[in-house]
Structures are given as C-alpha cells and as structure tokens.
Structure 1
Amino acid sequence: MKDQNPKQPAEYISLVSFLILKVVLSFVLVNSMYELHRDEFLHLDQANHLAAGFTSVPPLTSLFSWLIKAFGNSYFMVKLIPALFGACTIFYCWKIVDFLKGNLLAKCLVAVACVCSSLLRLNTLYQPNSFDVLAWTAIFYYLLKYFDKNEARYLYAFAVFVALGFLNKYNILFLIMGLLPAIIITPNRKIFTDKSLYVAILLALVIISPNVIWQISHHFPVLIHMKALQSTQLVYVNRIDFFIGQFLFFISSIFFLLAGIGSLIFYKEFRKYNWIIFTYIITLLVFSYFKAKDYYALGLYPVLLAFGAVYLSRVLAKKYVLTGLLFVFNIGSFIYLLPLLMPVYSSAQIIARHKRFERVGALRWEDGKNHELPQDYADMQGWKELAALVDTAYGKVKDKSTLLIRADNYGQAGAINYYSKYTNINALSYNADYMYWFKMDKPIKDLILIEWSGDEDPQRKREQPLFDKITKIGELKNPYAREKGAAVFLLEGAKKEVTGIIKSEIEAEKNDH
C-alpha cells in the first residue's frame, strides 16, 4: 500500500539528518590534542570487573564498557556510545513533538535546540550523564502517552526506563521525588488506581534487584560515596549558581526553554500537561535543597524544549522572517559561544583568552577556585605521557607475575591500563573501585609506584628500607595536565613484609570508605 502521507519522507530524512549531525559534531568539535577524560578510564576498566554494583556508579555503564571492549576499545567507540545516547534523546524529543501534533517545523526546531546546547558537550564524554538525560526524556514521553491512551504498555516502558536509569545513575531518584507529588496534585493521580502501575513497579524492582541486593550486601557504599561527594565537592556548590546554570546550559536555545515553561503554565491546550511543570519545579527545589551540581538536572530540559518548539511553531506559523531569525539566533549564538561549550580550543588558546572563560565561570573547578583551564580539559591531558613512563618501568621488570602497579588515583590507574602498549598491564589504586580489584595471591617482589606532585616524600625515603633498589623513571611534564608532576618510580627487590603492608593499607582504605 502506497504511503498516503507525503510529509513522511521529508520527516524521516530530516530526522536521520539531525541524528547523523548530532553524532558527527560530537567528534569534529573536539580538539585532537585532548585525550580521554579521567572518569572515562574508570568506566572503561569496569568492563574487566563486571559486577552487580560498584562504589562509584551503578552497573549499567560497565555493560556499555564491555560492549565497547568487544568492538575494539577504540577512542571512536568510546565517543560513539554517548553520542548515540544524545541522538536517541533527540529522537524522543521528536516523538514528544509528534505526540503534541507538532509539524515538521516544530520537530526541526527542537532538534536544533538540543544540538545547539550544552547537551552536545555532555554527549562527548563517556559518563553516565548522557544515558541519564536519555532515560529522563523517555520517561516523560511514556508518561505522556500513558496519560493520553491509558494503555499498560506505556507504563511498562516507563518502568523499564526508570529501572535502566536507576542502574545507570541513582540521580533518577530525584526525578521520582519530583514526579510523585506532581502527579498526586493533578487529575493524573488516577494512575494509582490502575493495577498495571503496580505490575510496572514490580517489573522495575525485578530489573534493579541485583544492584539493590549488591548495595545491601556491601553496606550501601552509595551512601558513603554521596557523603564523600558532599564533603569534597557539593560543599562548594552555590544555590544561586545552580539556578543560573539551568539557563546558561540552554542560553542559545533560551527562547525554546522559556516558551516551553510558559506554554505549560499559560497555553490552554497544554494545561493538561501541567504535571510536567510541577515536576520541573519540585525536582529543581529538591536538587537545590541537597546542593546538587547544576548539570544533575539536565534531564528535565529536553521535554521542555519539545513543548517550546511546538508552541513557537504555532505562534510563528507562516511568519517566515521571524522563523528564520529564530534559527539564526539559535545557531548563530551557539557558534559564538562554541569555544566556551566545546573543547575546540587548544590549552594555549584558552589561556590566551583567559578572561572570556573566567567571566562565565568555566575556569572554576570543584574545589571552588579558578584555574588556567576548565577542569574537564585539564582532566583530558597527560595520560599518554604517564602511560609511556609506566611502560618504561614495566619493561625493566623481569617477573611480571610478582609486580604490582599502584597509582595515586583512579584516573592514573585507568589511563595506564587504557594507553599502555602492554595488553596485560594491570594498574591499581587505593582509590574508587580499584581498591576492590587487588588480587594479592602472590608475594610482591617489585612495585611501580605513581605519586602525584606535592608528595611529601619525593625521594621515597619511606620505601627505601623495604626495597633493594628504587629508581625514578620520570615525571609527567605536560604543563596543561591536571596530573602535571606525577612521578613514576620502580621499586625492586621487595622485602617479605611489603606484601603484608600493602594488604593492610588496602584494608585500611576499605574501612575508611
């Protein structure tokens, strides 16, 4: 049977074009001088230690890492996965617009709004955040469909994405905290009389149960992780900056965002969807109360952009000049702000434009202080150099079976394992998940030690009585790397007590965590 809707081919072509564009931009707008990010290394290493849970993140990321490893563990694959999640987010925005009976213009508007925003930067990093935004967007879509059609299948799809979101990042619990009261105070509370809801809840619980059991059996490390995060990072979060950040993330798409918020409040046709705006407000307040980082709330925005695109497409119907100006502003302002949003500049170029980056807070790190480069950019340099130094030390060791490589932090350990030319190298750390991956089944005879700059014992006097020979292989020289000054030492001929000392240190670190 012939296609009776002549608009469909144009819509399919437009959608596919935007999805391809989204993926391509995730690669071409990253300066080639940058390497992988320190957090990416930890996630990639989890593929070698599959489990129902980790101290740093839930287990879903490790399954994506296993997939990346199966396809060669290349830089391309590492970057492709979050880019695809970003493309899927646009797909769900497209579906939301379609649900609202938006035309092709509205669909193109929301696609441009998503591409020309901080979501593009988010989707260049292999972290749980990209799937988090995708899961939140899918959850809004399936709830919209359920409240409209009252069909159980949408509740089940909703439950699956809640569960997958939970297994990806516990951040999704904040969305649930916003959704529940928002639904209760609107006529949509009739959902609680639908038996299918409880089947859906059971389905979600079954999916997340392995991780819940893991958390219980390991005495809820997520709570300990959150406590550490609160004391080391969230303590520097300013609530005013949190709310300012919500709009700065979408400054190029600000008209879509404001139209989405405004239409859900004032536009008569959208008032039946007011549970979305209530969810948005309540969730932001919860985030603010807990002094969360501003990007934790990014998942709230794709649905708002979709509503804004539909509303603007109706307001601008047949007003071609205004529509063109809207596209020009959105794309033009994004291009102007591109160096602040994406790592297109080299480190030297950023330093030369220091004031521009400082004015928008891009140089403020999690310690609350300003530095020469954005923290993420400093976290994407020096890793290959460090791995090469460790390879030099590794090549000098005759018996690799009794060698331990102990890095100062998870970024170092993961980078060494990823960039080393030796496939069987296994760097570890007393930091993050690595502390649980030690296998002390043989006495340690040699040790490769990586210590960051600022160490109080640069000559390794503490270890001199415990080893026959200590050699400094070198230190990381990259002036732009956050790890600048990290030194690599080869400690040979360990005394018998070394293995026991290391085991005690591991246990002490575990107890502290």
Structure 2
Amino acid sequence: MVNNINFRKSTSAQLDVLVLGGFVLVKLILPFFLVNTAYSLHRDEFLHLDQAHHLAWGFQSVPPLTSIFAVIIQFLGGSEAAVRLVTASIGALTLIFTWKIVAEFKGRLYAKALSAIALICCAVGRLDLLFQPNAFDILSWTAIYFFLIRYFNTRANKYLYLTGVALGIGFLNKYSICFLIAGLIPALFIANQRKIYASKHLYGAGLIALLIMLPNLLWQYHHHFPVVGHMKELARTQLDKINRVDFLKDQLLYYFNIIFIVLAGLWALVLSKTFSSYRWIVIGFVISLALFTWFRAKAYYAAGLYPVIIAAGCSYLALQFNQGWKRKYLRALIVILPLALFSVTLKYAYPVLSPQQIVGSHDKYARVGALRWEDGLQHDLPQDFADMLAWKEMAALTDIAYAKVKDKSALLVRADNYGEAGAINYYSKFKNINAVTYNADYLYWFKMDKPIKHVILVRESNEEDPQRKKEQPFFKKITKIGEVTVPYAREKGAAVFLLEDATIDINSRVQTEIEEEKHDH
C-alpha cells in the first residue's frame, strides 16, 4: 500500500516537471513568433546592450545588473535572437516561481498550469519581450513573495535570508523594488505575521540585502546621486503627463485577459479562510499600488505585484471548481477564456502586424488606447512599436559617413539621443564606431584622449537648424548624408551629417557641453 502511494506521488511529481518543462519551452520560443520581421530591437534595448562595454556599479539611468545580462548576451553572440532568448529566460524563471507559489498555496497541477497560461496571456508576458529591467524586476518581486510565503509555511530561517538576497539583487536591477518593500513592511505588521519583526534572522536578511546594495549605493554617492536627476527628468518629461485614473484603468487593461483570475486572487486573499494566513499579500498589494498611483508611475511599474495574485487566483478557482459539473465544464472554460482573449488582444500588445497593417486598423487601435504615447497624444503606431523601426537605416547612413573619413582616430560620432547612439553601435558594420550622445549614460562615455577633427552628427527630425548653420563657422566642409525614411518610425526624418576639418578646438567645446549637461542633470 505504501509503495503504491509512493509510486503515485512519484508519477505526479514527474508529470509536474514534464508539464512545467513544456510551459518553459513555450515561454522561451514564443517571443520569436511575436515580433514581425519589419521591426528590430527597441531603443531602450540598445542602451542596455551598450552598458556591457562600460561595466560599473551603477549608471545614470539604471542600476548595474542589466549590464551583466548584456555581457551574457554578448557571450551568446550578441544577435537579436540572443537578446530575445535572455529576456525570455528571465520570464521563464518568473513562471517557475509562480508555479512554486501555487504549490505553496496547495494548488495542484491544474492550478499550476492555469498560472502559467495566465502569465503568458497577460501584461507580464508582454514585459518579458524586451531587454529592459522590467522582466527581472517582475522576477525579483515574485521571488521575494515566494521566499516569504515559504518562510511562513515552514518557519525555516533560510528563506528569510533568500528573501534578503532576492531584495538585494532586485535593487541592483531596478530601484522601484522599494515600492514593494514600502508595501510589505506595514502589511506584515497589520496582518497576523507581525511576529516576524521579533526574529533576528529578519534583520540578518536585511543586512545581507544592504551589503548586496552597498556597491551601487557607494557609486551613487561618489557620482552625486545621478538617480535623483534621472528621476526628476523622468517626472518632468513623462510622469507628470500620466493621469492617476489612467494608471488604474491600465491595471485593468493590462490584465483584461485574466481579470477573473486576478479578481479571484484578491477575493481569496481578502475573504477566504483557506488563505487567511496570506492576508499580508493583499494588504501589501493595496499599499504598493496606492503609492504607485500617488507618484504617477507608469502602469507597468506595478507588474511585479501580480504573479502572486495570479497564483492565489488559480489556486482558489481550482479549489472552487473541484467537483461535479464545475470540474467538468468550468475548469475547461477558465483555461480556454484567457487563451481566447489573448488571441484577440495579441495584435494590440505585441508587434505581430506590420506598421502598414496597424495604420490600416487605426480606429481599432485608438479605441483601446494603444496609440497614446507618453506625451499624451495619439500617434500612428503604439509607442513601443514605433521605437522598433528605422534603426538599421540610421546605422547604414552613419556607416556611409564613417567610411568617408580617412583618419578614424580623429572622428567623433554624436547622436541626439541614446536610442540613436545605441542603434548605431549595434547595427554598424564598424564595430569601433563608438557613437555617443549628450543623453543618459552616454554622457560619461565620450573618448576625448585625441584631438577631434571630424564629427558625424545625427539629428532628430524636429531639429531647428537643418542646414547646420551653427556648425558652419567651425568646419571647412559639412555634408548631409541623408535622412531616415522608414514610414511611421519615431526617428523618421532624423538626418545624418558629416562635419569635416574642424577649425577650432572641438575637444574643449565638447567637454564644456558635457559638463553643462551633467550640471543640468
């Protein structure tokens, strides 16, 4: 009898691993089918990829962890496929942690599989598509939830220390993890888990987290906390345009495909006796979401809050639909529904359609708010999609200019923004082209060790001086190489100029402009 029970447990465990492996495989290959060939990488990805060449304990725009992933991508060949694979792998780890949270909630295979489907079909899956800190941000939040839940279920102190490790590494990825902690600290006190504050191991875990964070904190201190300037600029140029009500509306939109699972998770954590020991999760969720709303955060900043809610929802629904006709019909329905809605909303969330196809369906995209950019205005394409166009053409134009210069050591390639500079460095056939800009981290990456005699200038389409009259007194020859012509690209109309044979000291002028930009930030 005992052997029979053990056999069933072993078979069940093997099936669990097999099904989980299948979902992980789907997660890894799905990104390669969700991006139309008309698109390349996203402007933000280029900045993070370039950080691999400038490893440090911090950057102006982000903490240092993304640069480590950039090094891994380089090791894998640096191709677009390598970029997609690394980000998909991070998403797969989030799926695994969510699966394990379901297990902690006593959910069985059905609930686990439903959680995997839910993650793939909601905004969490969308954020795993691009090489940005967002994917690992969601992973680190989910890991923290898992380790805390595991601690409360087992009282094994090692999970507190693992929570500290996850927090420290998460901080090195994105500072917004502080919003999670700001929610969890009062939540644990308000709920029935306040005894945790009497544990010396909690403070030991906090010390470990602080030690992991310390190199970045010291870097921030020695560089006069550039993160403060970055946040001020972000607030001035983007966050102040975000309506708080729109932030909350977007929470519903991002999880529309699985909204019944999210609501079930919240219901379970608030009202179900089965989940009474996990009330702190929903209290923390509300506090963190309120803080994000107050500070006018972008809607996706809160994505890390949802995997644990999804896990609770899947576990609760599986428990409720466990007998009779509910088990036979409703269990199938709640698997089919997210997949059906995902198939309908897919074209709005992912760049599966060409720009021309999207423009042809303008009204449909506008109705769901997909064409509203950070400037608050409606455009032809979703912003992220427009940020994935024209980079190869821009790099090709820059290469034409670069090839014309004989003395490459006396050449500076300067773009208008980090997307342009990073794209040129990534797609150029000249691997030492070293394009820079007075923008983001590139401000610290200028090479000024040799006299600059020639400049390749990349200017945005809204440039006030298209004839380069400003630079004409300083160079003997100025040639316009061409303009970006890719339709609907955010960079359409950007121009590439070759400025040759400087008549003044360009180095000192550039250095002055760099210092002015640093002061402004």
> Normalising TM by the smaller chain, what interval?
over 0.9
Name the residue aligned to 1:248. Answer: 253
* 2:94 is equivalent to residue 89 of structure 1: yes
Name the residue aligned to 2:124. Answer: 119
| Residue identity opposite 2:234 in structure 1 | L
Comparing 409-418 and 183-192, the one that deviates more: 183-192
Name the residue aligned to 1:321. Answer: 329
Name the residue aligned to 2:163. Answer: 158
Alpha-carbon separation, structure 2, partners of 1:3 and 1:462: 80
Alpha-carbon separation, structure 2, partners of 1:120 and 1:32: 20
* Residue correspondences, number: 513
Structure 2 gap ranges (5+): none
Alpha-carbon separation, structure 1, partners of 2:30 and 2:71: 25
Alpha-carbon separation, structure 2, partners of 1:308 and 1:509: 49
**In the alignment, is the contact (CA less than 8 A) between 1:265 and 1:271 conserved in 2?**
yes
Name the residue aligned to 1:75. Answer: 80
Deviation at 1:138, TM superposition (A): 0.6
Alpha-carbon separation, structure 1, partners of 2:504 and 2:189: 65
**In the alignment, is the contact (CA less than 8 A) between 1:443 and 1:496 conserved in 2?**
no
Alpha-carbon separation, structure 1, partners of 2:173 and 2:147: 19
Deviation at 1:187, TM superposition (A): 2.2
**In the alignment, is the contact (CA less than 8 A) between 1:27 and 1:124 conserved in 2?**
no
Q: TM-score, with normalisation over the residues of structure 1?
A: 0.99
Deviation at 1:453, TM superposition (A): 0.9
Name the residue aligned to 1:477. Answer: 485
Deviation at 1:82, TM superposition (A): 1.3
Name the residue aligned to 1:308. Answer: 313
**Secondary structure, aligned partner of 1:208:** helix
Name the residue aligned to 2:520. Answer: 512
Name the residue aligned to 2:507. Answer: 499
Aligned counterpart for 2:210 among listed residues 205, 208, 230: 205
| Residue identity opposite 2:430 in structure 1 | Y
1:123-155 CA-to-partner distances (Å, cap 9, x unmatched) read 110000000001111100100011122211101
**Secondary structure, aligned partner of 1:460:** coil
**In the alignment, is the contact (CA less than 8 A) between 1:106 and 1:310 conserved in 2?**
yes
**In the alignment, is the contact (CA less than 8 A) between 2:138 and 2:303 conserved in 1?**
yes
Aligned counterpart for 1:189 among listed residues 191, 194, 199: 194
* 2:43 is equivalent to residue 13 of structure 1: no
Alpha-carbon separation, structure 1, partners of 2:487 and 2:254: 29
Deviation at 1:497, TM superposition (A): 2.4
Aligned counterpart for 2:291 among listed residues 286, 293, 300: 286
Deviation at 1:498, TM superposition (A): 2.2
**In the alignment, is the contact (CA less than 8 A) between 1:26 and 1:121 conserved in 2?**
no
Structure 1 gap ranges (5+): none
Alpha-carbon separation, structure 2, partners of 1:191 and 1:119: 30
**In the alignment, is the contact (CA less than 8 A) between 2:415 and 2:421 conserved in 1?**
yes
Alpha-carbon separation, structure 1, partners of 2:19 and 2:133: 28
**Secondary structure, aligned partner of 2:455:** strand
Alpha-carbon separation, structure 2, partners of 1:322 and 1:70: 47
**Secondary structure, aligned partner of 1:455:** coil
Aligned counterpart for 1:348 among listed residues 333, 339, 356: 356
Alpha-carbon separation, structure 1, partners of 2:191 and 2:346: 40
**Secondary structure, aligned partner of 1:101:** coil
Deviation at 1:401, TM superposition (A): 0.6
Within-5 A mapping of 1:162-241: 162-241=167-246
Name the residue aligned to 1:98. Answer: 103
Alpha-carbon separation, structure 2, partners of 1:161 and 1:216: 23
**In the alignment, is the contact (CA less than 8 A) between 2:137 and 2:174 conserved in 1?**
yes
Name the residue aligned to 2:391. Answer: 383
Name the residue aligned to 2:451. Answer: 443
| Residue identity opposite 2:461 in structure 1 | S
Aligned counterpart for 2:114 among listed residues 106, 109, 114: 109
Q: TM-score, with normalisation over the residues of structure 2?
A: 0.97
Aligned counterpart for 2:432 among listed residues 406, 424, 436: 424
Deviation at 1:446, TM superposition (A): 0.7
Alpha-carbon separation, structure 2, partners of 1:250 and 1:165: 23
Alpha-carbon separation, structure 1, partners of 2:116 and 2:511: 53
Deviation at 1:466, TM superposition (A): 0.7
Name the residue aligned to 2:45. Answer: 40
| Residue identity opposite 1:362 in structure 2 | A
* 2:30 is equivalent to residue 22 of structure 1: no
**Secondary structure, aligned partner of 2:500:** strand
Name the residue aligned to 2:461. Answer: 453
**In the alignment, is the contact (CA less than 8 A) between 2:392 and 2:423 conserved in 1?**
yes
**In the alignment, is the contact (CA less than 8 A) between 2:104 and 2:153 conserved in 1?**
no
Deviation at 1:4, TM superposition (A): 5.1
CA-based RMSD: 1.1
**In the alignment, is the contact (CA less than 8 A) between 2:472 and 2:478 conserved in 1?**
yes
Alpha-carbon separation, structure 2, partners of 1:454 and 1:234: 22
Alpha-carbon separation, structure 1, partners of 2:464 and 2:80: 36
**In the alignment, is the contact (CA less than 8 A) between 2:121 and 2:257 conserved in 1?**
yes
Q: Percent identity, aligned pairs only?
A: 53
Within-5 A mapping of 1:362-381: 362-381=370-389
Comparing 413-422 and 335-344, the one that deviates more: 335-344
**In the alignment, is the contact (CA less than 8 A) between 1:90 and 1:111 conserved in 2?**
yes
**Secondary structure, aligned partner of 2:30:** helix
Comparing 410-419 and 117-126, the one that deviates more: 117-126
Deviation at 1:250, TM superposition (A): 1.2
**Secondary structure, aligned partner of 1:151:** coil
Deviation at 1:487, TM superposition (A): 0.6
Deviation at 1:3, TM superposition (A): 5.3
